[in-house]
Structure 1
Amino acid sequence: MIRLIAIDMDGTILSPDHSISTKNKQAILAAQSNGIEVVIATGRSFSEAFGPVSDEGLNLSYICLNGAEVRDEFGELLAATHIAKNDINEITSILDAHTIDYQLFIDTLIYTKSIKDQIDTFIQLAEAANQIPPVDKIRQEVMERVEKGFIVQLDSFDKLINQRGNEIYKVFGTSYNRQQLDNARNALQLLPGLAISSSGAGNLEITNHNAQKGIAVEQYANSKGIAMENVMVIGDSYNDLSMMVRAGHAVAMGNAPAAIKAACTEITTTNEYDGVGLAIEAILQQQV
């Protein structure tokens, strides 16, 4: 009996144009009306995640930044797990040595040295799913976040790290050079206390070892008195793997890599064709 559903965003609940389809929305509302709790589990910051969900009038809780932050449906912070300040300089030194561009996530803000990198990040996510990225819409979304102050461009991160190094949730590295990414990943994995994942072939997501989607989903379920065997998760990438191996029912999107599909109990259609909605409808049919 499924009592909690955790859903990834990019490549999963979001269509290629970064919207939530009517079918996906209706399925979530149907799940909620049948007493099933639904939570977003994303690598995005809260400010990036809240917009597309609230635009559809959905009231959901949020596991953000791969589990580094948990917020309720009102946006109130429930839990926070930061990277140890001592690790930040080592992380950035490794990324700099391998010419990896990166962004720092603090609270609801994203700090970047290039707005273009932010735009390229979402383009890469779409390309990794073998889809045509809606470049104009992505650019518009990013620039709106810049105007609202959620994305801050800095020439250097030195002062920020010195002043707020103990508040960093996630370091997000991007590169089109796969060899450089692999070399950086190998070096980062030698640092204890970190979780190294990715949401696409062109990025690295670095968080505290305790900040992983699977850990956060399990803690959230426990807080609601729900056993993991009664949890369903839906995702498409490697940063979803930690929750897929813990949940009683794991669903891979049709656009997920083969390794992610192999880790799941079910495969649905792609995010272009309402994969989330269909997976939820199938569960509701069984239970209702």
Structure 2
Amino acid sequence: MIRLIAIDMDGTILSPDHSISTKNKQAILAAQLNEIEVVIATGRSFSEAIGPVRSGGLNLPYICLNGAEVRNESGELISATHIVGNDIKKITSILDAHTIDYQLFIDTLIYTKSIKDQIETFIQLAEAANQIPAVDEIRKEVMDRVERGFVIQLDSYDELINLRGSEIYKVFGTSFNRLNLDDARKALQLLPGLAISSSGAGNLEITNKNAQKGIAVENYAKSKGISMENVMVIGDSYNDLSMMERAGRSVAMGNAPAEIKAACTEITTTNEHDGVGLAIEAILQHQI
């Protein structure tokens, strides 16, 4: 019996325009009415995640930044797992050597050298889901966070790293050069304290080795007295693999790569066609 559902955001619960469909919303509310815990499990920061969830009429807890941060429904911090300070300069040196642009995530803030790169990140995520990006909606969403002070553009990260290097949750690297990304990934994997994942073909997500969705979902389930056999996870990309491997039931989106589909116990429809809602409805019909 499923007692907890963990759901990814981009390419999963979010439609290409970054909204949550009525069907997805209704399915989640029905799950909650039937005493099933539902939690968001995303690579996004809390400030990036809360807007679409609240706009969709939902009140959910959050596993953010691939598990580096966990917050309750009110947004209060439950746990935080930062990259070890000594690793930050090693990470940035590797990314710089392979000419990979990157963003730094600290608390609810995102630091970038280019707002354009921040917009391009979400365009890449949509393209990774084999969909046409809703560029105007993406630009509006990012610029809203810029205006609210959640996205900060810097000319250099040096001072920030010197002052707050031990507070960094995630480093997010992007590049159109696949060879450079692959070489950087191999170099980063030699650093034992890190977890290296990806939410699309053009990026690298770098966190503490203990900051992975699978670990965070398992810890969250344990805090609720729920066995992983009674957990269902829904996702579409490589940063979802760690939770797919641990859950009793794992659902791949129809827009997921073949490798992700092969790792899951079942496949639903795409995020354009309410795949999350349909997967949850199937569980509810069976359990009710």
Where do residues 154-193 of structure 1 align in structure 2 (5 Å cutoff)? Answer: 154-193=154-193
Which residue number in structure 2 is paired with residue 222 of structure 1?
A: 222
- The 3-state SS of whatever aligns with 1:19 is coil
Which residue number in structure 2 is paired with residue 259 of structure 1?
A: 259
Where do residues 41-52 of structure 1 align in structure 2 (5 Å cutoff)? Answer: 41-52=41-52
- The 3-state SS of whatever aligns with 1:246 is coil
* CA distance, structure 2, for counterparts of residue 169 and residue 225 of structure 1: 27
* CA distance, structure 2, for counterparts of residue 133 and residue 59 of structure 1: 26
Which residue number in structure 1 is paired with residue 143 of structure 2?
A: 143
Displacement, 1:57?
A: 1.9
Which residue number in structure 1 is paired with residue 124 of structure 2?
A: 124
* CA distance, structure 2, for counterparts of residue 280 and residue 130 of structure 1: 23
Which residue number in structure 2 is paired with residue 97 of structure 1?
A: 97
Partner deviation per Cα, 1:214-235 (whole Å, 9 max, x = no partner): 0000000000000000000000
Partner deviation per Cα, 1:160-214 (whole Å, 9 max, x = no partner): 0000000000000000111110010000000111000000000000000000000
Quick check: 2:81–2:211 contact (8 Å CA) kept in 1? yes
Q: Which amino acid aligns with 1:224?
A: K
* CA distance, structure 1, for counterparts of residue 58 and residue 157 of structure 2: 36
Partner deviation per Cα, 1:36-88 (whole Å, 9 max, x = no partner): 00000000000000000011221100000000000000000000000000000
Partner deviation per Cα, 1:133-158 (whole Å, 9 max, x = no partner): 01111111111000000000000000
* CA distance, structure 2, for counterparts of residue 177 and residue 129 of structure 1: 19
- The 3-state SS of whatever aligns with 1:92 is helix
Which residue number in structure 1 is paired with residue 247 of structure 2?
A: 247
* CA distance, structure 1, for counterparts of residue 117 and residue 56 of structure 2: 28
How does the TM-score come out when normalised to structure 1? 1.00
- Runs of 4+ residues over 2 Å off in structure 1: none
Q: Which amino acid aligns with 2:204?
A: L
**1:26 counterpart = 2:26:** yes
Displacement, 1:245?
A: 0.3
Q: Which amino acid aligns with 2:221?
A: A
Displacement, 1:129?
A: 1.1
- The 3-state SS of whatever aligns with 1:47 is helix
Quick check: 2:21–2:56 contact (8 Å CA) kept in 1? no
Where do residues 203-214 of structure 1 align in structure 2 (5 Å cutoff)? Answer: 203-214=203-214
Displacement, 1:130?
A: 1.1
Which residue number in structure 2 is paired with residue 2 of structure 1?
A: 2
**1:275 counterpart = 2:275:** yes
Partner deviation per Cα, 1:211-268 (whole Å, 9 max, x = no partner): 0000000000000000000000000000000000000000000000011000100000
How does the TM-score come out when normalised to structure 2? 1.00
Q: Which amino acid aligns with 1:91?
A: I
Quick check: 2:229–2:248 contact (8 Å CA) kept in 1? yes
Q: Which amino acid aligns with 1:214?
A: G
- The 3-state SS of whatever aligns with 1:155 is coil
Which residue number in structure 2 is paired with residue 88 of structure 1?
A: 88
- The 3-state SS of whatever aligns with 1:58 is coil
* CA distance, structure 2, for counterparts of residue 16 and residue 55 of structure 1: 15
Partner deviation per Cα, 1:100-125 (whole Å, 9 max, x = no partner): 00000000000000000000000001
* CA distance, structure 1, for counterparts of residue 127 and residue 214 of structure 2: 25
Where do residues 99-118 of structure 1 align in structure 2 (5 Å cutoff)? Answer: 99-118=99-118
- The 3-state SS of whatever aligns with 1:142 is helix
Q: Which amino acid aligns with 1:275?
A: G
* CA distance, structure 2, for counterparts of residue 113 and residue 276 of structure 1: 34
Q: Which amino acid aligns with 1:211?
A: A
Displacement, 1:90?
A: 0.3
- The 3-state SS of whatever aligns with 1:89 is helix
The alignment's C-alpha RMSD in Å is 0.4
* CA distance, structure 1, for counterparts of residue 222 and residue 136 of structure 2: 41
User: Aligned pair count?
Assistant: 288
Consecutive unaligned residues in structure 2, runs of 5 or more: none
Which residue number in structure 2 is paired with residue 194 of structure 1?
A: 194
